[in-house]
């Protein structure tokens, strides 16, 4: 993902934008979006996993790297996730999977792309005793929301965004397309200009 961002920034440079003077002119001439391909998204999201979490001090949950799918018609991403579950009281070990989908948003306060609106679609755990199965199925939506809502998928460094910021732009709307994510570049509010 880092190499792709640097490549995209180099495209901005090579298009002759620096030959012009004045940020407003540069901002009007700059490309208004950058697309990140699905393969790069899969790689970037995999780097944020596994996630380990204790549930009520009784269960240990390990969420493995998800398999990503694009949902352009709903402007969301979907994931199928394998997981491991350890019962700390009885010593049982279980495996399973679940699927959920989520939207994305850019947070300019810390230059991050974050998950938003996580929704669980399916939970499957093999061999889990019935009381746990019921509790997990019932609580999975809340657990997924707690684990994934507002989770950082990527954080841009100041260096990553320096050229874009210098052009008076910042990442704005994130749109899911059949090819990947399209990040629209929008004028940077004056109150956040460096």
Task: Locate the DSSP E strands across the chain.
Answer: 33-37, 51-55, 59-63, 67-71, 76-87, 93-107, 112-126, 152-155, 169-176, 180-187
Domains of the chain with CATH codes: 2-8+23-185 (3.15.10.40)
- pLDDT of 6 over the 50 cut: no
- pLDDT of 65 over the 60 cut: yes
Q: Which residues contact 52 (CB under 8 A, 6 or more apart)?
A: 60, 61, 62, 63
pLDDT attached to residue 20: 33
For 131-179, the pLDDT digits (tens) are 777 777 777 778 777 878 888 877 888 887 888 888 888 888 899 999 9
- pLDDT of 71 over the 70 cut: yes
First to last CA, the chain: 25
Helix, strand and coil percent figures for the chain, each rounded to 5: 30, 40, 25
For the chain, how many residues are written?
194
| Residue 191: pLDDT band with limits 50, 70, 90 | low
Q: Tokens representing 83?
A: 């997981």
Q: CA-to-CA distance for 175 and 74, rounded, in angstroms?
A: 10
For 24-61, the pLDDT digits (tens) are 444 445 557 888 888 988 888 888 788 888 877 788 88
- pLDDT of 79 over the 80 cut: yes
For 105-138, the pLDDT digits (tens) are 989 889 888 999 988 888 888 887 777 777 777 7
């Amino acid at each position: 993902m880092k190499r792709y961002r640097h490549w995209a920034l180099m495209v901005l440079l090579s298009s002759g934008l620096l030959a012009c003077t004045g940020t407003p002119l540069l901002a009007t001439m700059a490309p208004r979006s950058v697309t990140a391909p699905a393969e790069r998204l899969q790689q970037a999201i995999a780097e944020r996993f596994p996630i380990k979490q204790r549930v009520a001090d009784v269960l240990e949950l390990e969420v493995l790297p998800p398999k990503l799918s694009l949902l352009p018609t709903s402007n969301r991403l979907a994931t199928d996730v394998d997981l491991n579950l350890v019962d700390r009281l009885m010593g049982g070990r279980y495996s399973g999977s679940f699927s959920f989908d989520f939207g994305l948003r850019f947070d300019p306060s810390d230059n991050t792309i974050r998950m938003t609106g996580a929704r669980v679609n399916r939970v499957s755990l093999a061999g889990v005793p019935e009381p746990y199965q019921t509790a997990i199925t019932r609580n999975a939506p809340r657990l997924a929301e707690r684990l994934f809502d507002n989770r950082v998928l990527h954080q841009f460094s100041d260096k990553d965004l320096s050229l874009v910021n210098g052009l008076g732009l910042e990442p704005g709307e994130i749109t899911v397309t059949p090819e990947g994510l399209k990040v629209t570049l929008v004028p940077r509010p004056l109150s956040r200009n460096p």
